[in-house]
A and B are shown apart, each in its own frame.
Chain A
């Protein structure tokens, strides 16, 4: 018998707000996180907007780990885990008393730091590269930083590197760890920092929007690279009830699969099958689902493929499908974790966050993307999509607890 799993703590750093309350307010208001990128020298790119996290100060959040020891993504990851623990009304000693599971998803790990090392190699030769900077590169630093910040020594601590669906992957893994009884608390989600490398990949592929990210819009021109961290604290429903915790939402189940089709392009059948796997795992039917938080990158190929797959699964009764990346940009490994958090806040706050920057829905997509303004809604079951290069699909289902 698997245990029911609930979300009782949220940690958020995003381009539109820090912390659950600010993030929820921004989602409801349809705030744009867009700003000119300053994380690297953007000279020579015709356009360079992105969705950075502004005024992130790890010293405000971290109590045990020194911010100077961490790369930017690891600092956001550890800060978000500290925030999620506080938000759940727990202290580190509560976590230390039982078995914990830490799992952080990422696309890039310490790519921001690797960019700097490459630059230093070019300027001064490889022997002058800063060893302290080199230590911040490996992706495992994102999950280890969480464990060190909360002093969790009896914990499974892993980083999942399944690119842009890594947040959903990590939250799914935390779900299984709690559901099977392997752990009592799980801190999981995703984190990534804006890096030259990531931006250049999407720029070279012609997938960076010159002005705004407009998922499902006829005039969409691509993504804006973003960054952030989203960490949720998971525990069993029984544990939450026993300690009188506030429950944001229940995790109902998830699906994982691989298109095994193309290194960068999504695949309609693979995505449809992943949604069906998630529904089967959660024991829900399409007609019970009230909202889909789409992967919705704002590229031509993603949005059409995703909309087609949704119609394949939902038939004529498609619920609203929103593109949160219109507000948040594409926060890479953090994207689907921020998506799960947005879904939990939408359930709790009884609203559907909008798809902003919207002018005209692409008839090839033909979905209700809740353009530009949030609407009030009584949401019982919500689906969060996350897809990635290499066809690494992951879909998470949440419900009102």
Chain B
């Protein structure tokens, strides 16, 4: 399976080049302290994003920030109208803010059903994917992978099955996550990030491929185990890995027995630069690997890992073709 395009709406800015510049320079995105959040609440926000500005006023009434990110990132990854394209987007709990506001309105309103009907789509998890399809006229399979930080790599596997079985010819696969005070309270003051990233995936041998996904590994609780399983599927030995892109420092430490420091530190630690972006984290990690591979010799191998706080672990082995815009 090939990656033929990607997009990123991130705390570095609204497009791919902002993300690429940020990752290449290793510069941390601006951190904002949320006065309404827990004492230590800090967040890296997507600067200057307004869904009505980015997408126009038509059709954006009631649209939450999360869905705005998704629709925007799907467009930038190359939305194709029609039945041959699938949309696969990851999430943790959808728009926590919208759900909390909705339920609060039900609990405090004069009547328990005094809630704003325009906001109803925002409280259902499949809205970012569904709305992206509506916005761009994409009528193929439309899936929401609600698996937290593991969603990005689980989405790759889901997409690979869609391509293998002929259910889609291309898959726009990624995730979206928004910052909100409500999310920060549920995350106990961790540095949070937000945004969306989408990869365009096609069957292997696609024209203009930026990278090829060779192996995916999944499991529970152990990062080295899924790394080994992904490498085995890819037919790659650990010594041939050029860059490891772990999701967190804890994952990096778990992998220290398998890889040298120079391989583990080839790509800047994305979560430390833009915060914990939840379901988008692994997609941003892949995007970071793509950024760093540009103008490198072809056939560099990257290993991307992820571990969700609930225990799911996943790894992807990609061969990077060294192509793409610098």
Which residues of A line the B interface, CB within 8 A? 2, 42-45, 106-111, 114-115, 117-119, 121-122, 126-127, 129, 131, 134-135, 137-141, 143-144, 147-148, 152-163, 169, 173, 176-177, 179-180, 182, 196-197, 200-201, 203-205, 256-264, 270, 273, 281, 388-392
Question: Which chain A residue shows the least CB distance to B106?
Answer: A200
What are 30 pairs between A and B in contact, CB < 8 Å? A2-B165, A109-B146, A110-B93, A117-B186, A118-B103, A127-B38, A138-B310, A144-B311, A153-B219, A153-B220, A153-B221, A156-B157, A156-B218, A158-B158, A159-B145, A160-B146, A163-B125, A182-B161, A204-B115, A256-B86, A256-B167, A257-B83, A257-B140, A261-B134, A388-B126, A390-B126, A390-B127, A390-B133, A391-B134, A392-B142
Known: A161-B91, A258-B138. A45 touches B125 (CB 8 A): no
For residue A273, which residues in chain B have a CB less than 8 angstroms away from its CB? Answer: 83, 139
A-B pairs, top 4 by smallest CB distance, nearest first, are A390-B130, A161-B146, A258-B142, A139-B146
Q: Which of B87, B93, B167, B220 contacts A139 (CB 8 A)?
A: B93
- Measured between beta carbons, the chain A residues less than 8 angstroms from B123 are 197, 201
Chain A, Cβ-Cβ closest to B222: A153
Asked if A262 contacts B221 (CB within 8 A), the reply is no
B108 adjacent to chain A (CB < 8 Å): yes
Total CB contacts across the A-B interface at under 8 A: 235
B219: chain A residues within 8 A (beta carbon): 153-155, 157
Q: Which of chain B's residues 141-158 have a Cβ closer than 8 Å to chain A?
A: 141-148, 150-151, 154, 157-158
Would you call A162 and B143 a contact (CB within 8 A)? yes
The answer to whether B121 has its CB under 8 Å from any CB of chain A is yes
User: Does B298 lie at the interface of the complex (its beta carbon under 8 Å from any beta carbon of A)?
Assistant: no
Residues of chain B with a CB closer than 8 A to A42's CB: 112
Contact in complex: B121, A140 (CB < 8 Å) = no
Cα A148 to Cα B219 with chains together (Å): 11
A259 in contact with B139 given A200-B113, A205-B120, A389-B121 (CB within 8 Å)? yes
**Is the pair B121, A107 in contact by a Cβ cutoff of 8 Å?**
no
CB neighbours (8 Å) of A153 from chain B are 219-222, 225
Asked whether B100 is an interface residue with its Cβ less than 8 Å from the other chain, the reply is: yes
> Is B35 in contact with chain A by the CB < 8 A criterion?
no
**Which of B94, B125, B154 is close to A156, meaning CB atoms less than 8 Å apart?**
B154
Distance (whole angstroms) from the CB of B245 to the closest CB of chain A: 20
**In the complex, chain B residues 51-105 whose Cβ is within 8 Å of any chain A Cβ:** 83, 86-87, 91-94, 96, 99-100, 102-104
* Bound CA span A42–B148, Å: 31
User: Contacts A137-B186, A154-B229, A200-B112 given: A160-B124 contact, CB under 8 Å?
Assistant: no
Instruction: Decide if B129 is an interface residue (CB 8 Å cutoff).
Output: yes
With A176-B165, A263-B130 as known contacts, state yes or no: A390 contacts B121, CB within 8 Å: yes
B205 within 8 A of A: no
Whether the pair A155, B220 counts as a contact (CB closer than 8 A) is yes
List A contacts of B164 (CB < 8 A). 176, 180
Q: Is the CB of A45 within 8 A of B112?
A: yes
B169 interface hit (Cβ, 8 Å): no
Interface assignment of B256: CB less than 8 Å from any CB of chain A:
no
Residue in A118, A163, A260 whose beta carbon sits within 8 Å of that of B126 in the complex = A163
From B38, B161, B188, B222, give the contact of A177 (CB < 8 A): B161
**Which residue of the partner chain, among A138, A180, A260, contacts B137 with CB atoms under 8 Å?**
A260
A2–B96 CA distance with the chains assembled, in angstroms: 40
Asked if B300 is at the interface (CB within 8 A of a chain A CB), the reply is no
Minimal beta-carbon separation of A50 from chain B (angstroms): 14
Is B297 an interface residue when CB atoms closer than 8 A count as contact? no
Nearest-neighbour CB distance to chain A for B306, whole angstroms, equals 12
Q: Are A134 and B158 in contact (CB under 8 A)?
A: no
Residue B107 at the chain A interface, CB threshold 8 Å: yes
Tell me whether B134 and A173 are in contact (CB under 8 A).
no
**Residue from A135, A141, A204, A263 within 8 A of B113 (CB atoms):** A204
B308 at the interface (CB under 8 A from A): yes
Q: Known interface pairs A127-B38, A390-B134. Does A147 touch B220 (Cβ–Cβ under 8 Å)?
A: yes
Contacting pair A391 B113 (CB below 8 A): no
Beyond contacts A153-B222, A263-B131, A391-B130: 8 other A-B pairs, Cβ-Cβ < 8 A, are A121-B104, A157-B220, A201-B102, A204-B113, A205-B117, A258-B87, A392-B129, A392-B142
